[in-house]
A and B are shown apart, each in its own frame.
Chain A
Amino acid sequence: MHLALRIARRTGVFVVSLLGASLLIFLLTNALPGDVAQVLLGTDATPEAVAQLRAQLGLDRPLPVQYFSWLGGILVGDFGSSHLSGLPVLTLLAPRIAVTLWLVLFGMIGSLLIAVPAGMVAALKRRSWPGFTISAAAQLGMAVPVFWGGILLVLVFAVWLHWLPANGYVSLATNPAQWAAHLVLPSLTLALVQAAVLIRYVRSAFIEVLNEDYYRTARSIGWTPMRALFRHGIRNASISLVTVLGLQVSTVLVGAIVVESVFTLPGLGSLLLTAVNQRDLLVVQGTVMFLVLAVLAISALVDLSYLLIDPRQAAASEQGEGSA
């Protein structure tokens, strides 16, 4: 039952990382010089008001007690509440999760749609101009800050061509066409920047396939290089692709937060940003915890998905290998 063991082990790593991250977030917020209550009330608050808030929020308790109390809250879904509005963090997050999710989803799909074909061509033509050009373009793409990329796209498609809106958001339920229009540029921005990073890995994964015997077999039965690579390369290369995607989760999240700011999308990122500017510390703490939780969970899921893609992984967990 090695499979169950491996799932358990990965889940264990997830839990430990989560605890570690929560500790880090808690310490940053509460253990650094700077009083939480003071920050929340602002610099011209009276000492009495500060003291009262401290007692109210339980900040006079010993740190470990505070930590476990906060952690306990998270386990039941209480990520804290806003000092300004009184609303629980999750309530504030709920309507915005969808926006960020759409953005990340389309961004990732877009990046794969760009990077996989480009990487294939870069691998097949690696000794000639198309290959060099694609690699150079990817190198350049990695150096471009995501927000500048967004601004440039706005310049071209909104300012110059007037094809798409420069910012704002319409929900799917309200108007699907508008919803799509408002998501095109942000998703494209994210997709392009991500694709630049992915192309390198896709290229090297496909180059590895080109050196494999099963690629040669595919050629020998009559597939042209491109089709042989496509048929047999994608599944075998997807293993390393999934690895990279797993490593990129937090980068994509950061990219999404920034893109939301460029295009004024009402997602998780803009909530976080507003809370930071308003010094709504508890909301920041809760949201960051939520985001880190999401990142770690996705990484764990990605790791576990190996077992689906590679039949050898699942088999290695069975008793012994193959039959004579």
Chain B
Amino acid sequence: MKRAQLITGLVLVAAVVVTAVVAVFWTPFDPLRVVAGQRLLAPGWPHVLGTDGFGIDIASRLMVGARTILLVGIISVGVAAVVGVPLGMLAGQAGGWVDEVVMRVSDVVYAFPALLLAMLLAAIYGGSTVTAMVAIGVASIPAFARVARAGALQVMASDFVLAAKSSGTSRWGVARRHVLPNIAPLIGVQASVGFAMAILAEAALSYLGLATPRPNPTWGNMLRDAQNFLFVAPLQALWPGLAIALAVLGFNLLGDGLRDYLDPRLREVP
């Protein structure tokens, strides 16, 4: 059962990644060029999923959307990890008031949903892929910091760290050689789960028009477009949403599966 979870997750994630990579080089049709006379075609051939209100092939737009989603996910998770993990390690290793301060600040940011941050940024700079990435990245920092800190605390209490410290290893050495390798699996799991959240956040932001502007396709803004034609071409609303759900499901299952696989003791909710 647990293995099935992990495998399903891997398959779904792989599907998204492969689609995104392929989309860099090729899509069946031009995802941006308006084609008169081809509007709102039902699924069939050659447009497997039909065309949208501008006559553009939906499948091609979906593929490009995968590219954007992946980009946003990688950057925002990357930012969150690069900033959050060292902060969390610092808090866990140093303890005392450093820990207190880091965690308080982290809690404040944690209370800030990515959406609100993104809205603030969009009000100043105008919504774009960049503002979305920054907002999601910053909003995800506390989660990574928390995981890194919890892991660091566990490692710091273990015997081999005590041995390392008493043999004179510097704090930095302990961090690099003992804490980091041991919390890496935890971070990996958080990265997968964080990726899923980033996808959902980006989708919501682009649905609201606060992320990648049209005509560039993202799964979120494709749904917004589809909503305008809901009574005329209902099927259009199916594909982007399905894509989002499957991608998120994939990363969630991957994260859960990794968690169970790496250390059964870490399982939080059976």
**A residues engaging B (CB < 8 A)?**
16-17, 20-21, 24-25, 28-29, 32, 34, 36, 39, 139-140, 142-148, 151-152, 154-155, 159-160, 166, 200-201, 203-204, 207, 250-251, 253-254, 257-258, 261-262, 272-273, 275-277, 279-281, 284-285, 288, 291-292, 295-296, 299
Rounded to whole angstroms, the CA-CA distance of A145 and B226 in the bound complex is: 15
Q: Are A143 and B116 in contact (CB-based, < 8 A)?
A: no
Select the residue from A36, A155, A251 with max chain B CB neighbours within 10 A. Answer: A155
Chain A residues within 8 Å of B107, by CB: 17
Residue of B nearest to A29 (CB): B120
Rounded to whole angstroms, the CA-CA distance of A46 and B122 in the bound complex is: 23
Q: Are A21 and B207 in contact (CB-based, < 8 A)?
A: no
Pick the residue among A34, A148, A200 that contacts B124 (CB under 8 A).
A34
Rounded to whole angstroms, the CA-CA distance of A167 and B234 in the bound complex is: 16
Min Cβ gap B198→A in Å is 12
Q: Are A24 and B109 in contact (CB-based, < 8 A)?
A: yes
Chain B residues within 8 Å of A147, by CB: 203-204, 207, 220, 223
Chain A residues within 8 Å of B105, by CB: 20
Told that A20-B108, A148-B223 touch, could you supply 8 new A-B pairs with CB distance under 8 A? Answer: A143-B252, A147-B207, A152-B237, A159-B230, A159-B231, A273-B209, A284-B120, A285-B123
Query: Interface size on B (CB < 8 Å)?
Result: 47
Rounded to whole angstroms, the CA-CA distance of A16 and B116 in the bound complex is: 20
Given A143-B246, A148-B244, A159-B230, the answer on whether A292 and B124 have CB atoms closer than 8 Å is: no
The 3 A-B residue pairs with the shortest CB-CB distance in the complex, in nearest-first order: A148-B241, A20-B108, A143-B249
Chain B residues within 8 Å of A20, by CB: 104-105, 108
Chain B residues within 8 Å of A281, by CB: 123-124
Is residue B56 within 8 Å, beta carbon to beta carbon, of the partner chain? Answer: no
Q: Are A276 and B227 in contact (CB-based, < 8 A)?
A: no
Rounded to whole angstroms, the CA-CA distance of A267 and B126 in the bound complex is: 22
Residue of A nearest to B126 (CB): A279
Chain A residues within 8 Å of B230, by CB: 151, 154-155, 159, 166
Q: Are A25 and B120 in contact (CB-based, < 8 A)?
A: yes
Q: Are B115 and A254 in contact (CB-based, < 8 A)?
A: yes
Rounded to whole angstroms, the CA-CA distance of A86 and B120 in the bound complex is: 20
> What 0/1 readout, one digit per residue, does chain B (245-269) give for beta carbons within 8 Å of chain A?
1101100110000000000000001
Is residue B97 within 8 Å, beta carbon to beta carbon, of the partner chain? Answer: no
Residue of B nearest to A142 (CB): B252
Pick the residue among B108, B124, B231 that contacts A17 (CB under 8 A).
B108
Rounded to whole angstroms, the CA-CA distance of A203 and B244 in the bound complex is: 26
**B residues engaging A (CB < 8 A)?**
104-105, 107-109, 111-113, 115-117, 119-127, 196, 200, 203-204, 207-210, 220, 223, 226-227, 230-231, 234, 237, 240-241, 244-246, 248-249, 252-253, 269-270
Given A32-B124, A284-B123, the answer on whether A250 and B111 have CB atoms closer than 8 Å is: yes
Chain B residues within 8 Å of A280, by CB: 123
Q: Are B249 and A24 in contact (CB-based, < 8 A)?
A: no
Residue of B nearest to A299 (CB): B111
Q: Are B209 and A277 in contact (CB-based, < 8 A)?
A: yes
Chain B residues within 8 Å of A16, by CB: 104
Pick the residue among B117, B196, B226, B237 that contacts A143 (CB under 8 A).
B196
Given A16-B104, A143-B252, A151-B223, the answer on whether A296 and B115 have CB atoms closer than 8 Å is: no
Residue of B nearest to A284 (CB): B123
Chain B residues within 8 Å of A142, by CB: 248, 252
Chain A residues within 8 Å of B207, by CB: 145, 147, 258, 261
Q: Are A140 and B245 in contact (CB-based, < 8 A)?
A: yes
Q: Are B120 and A291 in contact (CB-based, < 8 A)?
A: no
Rounded to whole angstroms, the CA-CA distance of A253 and B204 in the bound complex is: 13
Q: Are B245 and A152 in contact (CB-based, < 8 A)?
A: no
Chain B residues within 8 Å of A295, by CB: 111
Given A21-B112, A148-B241, A159-B234, the answer on whether A28 and B204 have CB atoms closer than 8 Å is: no
Rounded to whole angstroms, the CA-CA distance of A258 and B200 in the bound complex is: 12
Rounded to whole angstroms, the CA-CA distance of A147 and B220 in the bound complex is: 9
Chain A residues within 8 Å of B220, by CB: 145, 147
Q: Are A292 and B112 in contact (CB-based, < 8 A)?
A: yes
Pick the residue among A34, A258, A262, A296 that contacts B111 (CB under 8 A).
A296
Pick the residue among A145, A253, A257 that contacts B241 (CB under 8 A).
A145
Residue of B nearest to A126 (CB): B270
Rounded to whole angstroms, the CA-CA distance of A320 and B127 in the bound complex is: 58
Q: Are B119 and A145 in contact (CB-based, < 8 A)?
A: no
Q: Are B108 and A21 in contact (CB-based, < 8 A)?
A: yes
Residue of B nearest to A154 (CB): B230
Chain A residues within 8 Å of B113, by CB: 250-251, 253-254
